[in-house]
Structure 1
């Protein structure tokens, strides 16, 4: 779900990205879905619709708003 070595991973029998823009992704999910990450417990997604918000931050060097991948 993110572009780092310490990323969140979603496992589901099936999913489809319904909408994607610069700061959010909206998925529909079929079956039991779980999010895995080394810094917290496994999270179960209890809905068939899931919205992933991509944190954005200001980079004072480039003076751009960039997606935060941490």
Structure 2
């Protein structure tokens, strides 16, 4: 099995594109440094997403969640 991050995250957005306003989401896994905060993880993930997806540069985050990646 491929190594996954120790936390799973979900983020949804409302954005404006050439065809109007639309909703979208992204998910992934993330390794959180010991002692890091939820806010620090949010900012790091959001910054990375916006760098990789210029269409999200001005998008509004409507939901975010991050949980331990284990059952």
TM-score (norm 1): 0.24
Q: TM-score, normalised by structure 2?
A: 0.24
More strand by share: 1
Higher relative contact order (CA 8 A, sep 6+): 2
Q: Give the number of the structure whose residues are more often helix, by fraction.
A: 2
